[in-house]
Amino acid sequence: MAARAIWKGDLKMGTAKVSVKLYSAIEDKTVRFHILDSGRKRVKQHMVEPESGEDVPDTEIRKGYEIEPGRFVILEESDLESLKPKASRDIEISSFVPIDAIEQQFYERPYYLGPDGDANNYFALAEALANQEREGIAHWTMRNKTYTGALGAQDGYLILSTLRNAEEVVSAAQLPKPAGTAPSKKEVELAKHLVSMLEGEFNPAEYKNEYRERVMDFIAKKAKGHAPRLSAVKTKRQTTSLDSALAKSIESLKKGKRAA
């Protein structure tokens, strides 16, 4: 079944305009649990006065920003309303960067864009992005929130991923290098050899969420009244030295290859 568009907008770059519909590219498969009380009834949340434990109804709750410990500036509804960004249908593309210019840490949530009306420009833009190996840097406002995003092409379609902002990401360049002894040249050579023997293609289809299946299977069995016994988790430790671990790994991989 086709998905429903969650938003409509216009990609704008210079004088060009491409009308698009936005669809979530993600399907959340997380197993959701409810929080229950000891009588297996659902629990709900409410706000209480911390001292008396008394319930405070929503109509009496205001919002405050803690400027220093214990000191709050009250923000009224009208204040929060005044902070809402101006609504717009424009997705402004300000620049185009090489596809490897944005670090993985910034990518937050991908959306498919689909053509809204004329599809020629949509598919031509996707092809142009793929040919140029670039992503567009996008800015837009959707549902009272402003976003920065990356406009990329994948298999001929446009994908718009929201990006985290500067304050949200810690970059490795800002951090000190780990302390401790450095490995020797010989060890690095061995490790490189080992890594190269394990090189292959990224094939996402190989990855199945086995844990999710196990949990769902366990729940199904428990629902029928016969939950299987689960064995305890064991921990293991490395015993051999780094050098011999590297040498043994390479040896066993070579044997594995010959046998295959």
Partner 1 sequence: MTHPATRRHSSVSDEESGGGVRPFWSGTITFGLVSVPVNLYPATRTNRAPLRMIGPEGEPLSRRYYSEKTGKDVEADDMIRGYEIDKDKFVTITDEELERLAPEKTRDINLTLFVKEETIPAVYFERGYFLSPAGNSEKAYKLLAEAMKERGDVGIATFVMRGKEYPVAIFSDHGILRAETMRFPDEIRSAKQVGLPETPKTNAATVRKFETLIKKKAKRTFTPEKDQETAQLLKLVKKKETKTSNVVQIKESDKSEGKVVDLMEVLKRTLAGKSK
End-to-end CA distance of the chain: 43
Which residue of 77, 87, 100, 226 would you call a contact of partner 1, by CB under 8 A? 100
Residue 90 C-beta: closest distance to partner 1, Å: 16
Which residue of 6, 73, 89, 255 would you call a contact of partner 1, by CB under 8 A? 73
Residue 199 C-beta: closest distance to partner 1, Å: 5
Residue 207 engages partner 1 in binding (rule: CB under 8 A):
yes
Q: Which is closer to partner 1, CB of 89 or CB of 146?
A: 146
Residue 165 engages partner 1 in binding (rule: CB under 8 A):
yes
Q: Alpha-carbon distance 209 to 213, whole Å?
A: 7
Give the bridge partners for 109, in sequence order.
162
Which residue of 8, 17, 89, 192 would you call a contact of partner 1, by CB under 8 A? 192
- For every residue of 205-246, DSSP letters joined together read GG---HHHHHHHHHHHHHHTT-PPP-PPPP-----S-HHHHH
Q: Which is closer to partner 1, CB of 46 or CB of 257?
A: 46
Question: Could you give phi then psi for residue 247, rounded to 5 degrees?
Answer: -60, -45
Residues in region 101-130 near partner 1 by CB under 8 A: 101-102, 104-107, 110, 112, 114-115, 119-121, 123-129
Residue 197 C-beta: closest distance to partner 1, Å: 8
Residues in region 227-256 near partner 1 by CB under 8 A: 230-233, 238, 240, 242, 245-246, 248-250, 252-253
Q: Which is closer to partner 1, CB of 89 or CB of 185?
A: 185
Residue 114 C-beta: closest distance to partner 1, Å: 5
CA atoms in the 13 A half-sphere facing the CB of 243? 3
Q: Alpha-carbon distance 189 to 115, whole Å?
A: 51
Report which residue type is found at 232. A
Which residue of 77, 86, 196, 226 would you call a contact of partner 1, by CB under 8 A? 196
Residue 89 C-beta: closest distance to partner 1, Å: 19
Residue 133 C-beta: closest distance to partner 1, Å: 10
Site string for partner 1, 6-45 (x = CB under 8 A): -------xx-x------xxxxxxxxxxxxxxxxxxxxxxx
Report which residue type is found at 114. G
Q: Which is closer to partner 1, CB of 8 or CB of 192?
A: 192
Give the bridge partners for 167, in sequence order.
none
- For every residue of 173-198, DSSP letters joined together read GGSPPP-SPPPPHHHHHHHHHHHHHT
Q: Alpha-carbon distance 212 to 220, whole Å?
A: 12
Cα–Cα distances (Å) from 111 to 23, 24, 45, 73, 176, in that order, read 5, 5, 32, 37, 35
The owner of tokens 């209480």 is: 48
